[in-house]
Amino acid sequence: MIYNLSSNMWLMKGKRIEPRATISYDRDMNKRWITTFLILIMTAMPVYANDFQEGLDAIHATDYETALEKLMPLAEHGHAAAQYNIGVMHEWGNGVPQDNSQALKWYKRSAERFHKDAQNNLGALYSKGEGTEPDFVEALKWFIISAENGSEGGQKNIHIVEKRMNYEEISQAQKLANDWMRKNRKK
């Protein structure tokens, strides 16, 4: 199919083609693709929600093997609450070897997806130097972000960690938190 600028029409093998027929076909195909995509998404979402709830139920029943089986695929695909719970399991050694560096990794992934409890726990690991070197500036940054997202624990921890910091460190943490929040606004 060739578009002839001089005659302002589509030509195929020298014959004029009505553009409406092509546009109609494209619209119909787009509608079919969109419908198919939406059906796939809508059928997959309940499975994720069901797996997440089953994972939480398994944690409450201390069946950590099932919890990992249900939550890990979700966490690996970016489910913030699943990432948070995997972090908790690593921090406390529930069903996995206790490993604060793994807890830090999962909390950070979840915190970057706006999970306020993960943000608070991430700040706590930085302030205590568990899974990483102690870093009060990074800790305060995450406590501020957590508090801005509604965490009471984050608000309390701000006051605790600020007592261990000088004015320059507090200002630096506030700037980092503000920059992060500006860059990562929820849409």
Model confidence over 91-130: pLDDT tens digits? 999 999 999 999 999 999 999 999 999 999 999 999 999 9
Is it the case that residue 10 has pLDDT exceeding 50?
Answer: no
Return the pLDDT at 37: 58
As a whole number, mean pLDDT of residues 19-47 equals 57
- Where in the chain are the domains? 20-98, 114-187
Q: What is the pTM of this model?
A: 0.74
Whole-number Å distance between alpha carbons of 94 and 16: 71
- Report yes or no: 9 and 18 within 8 Å, Cβ to Cβ: no
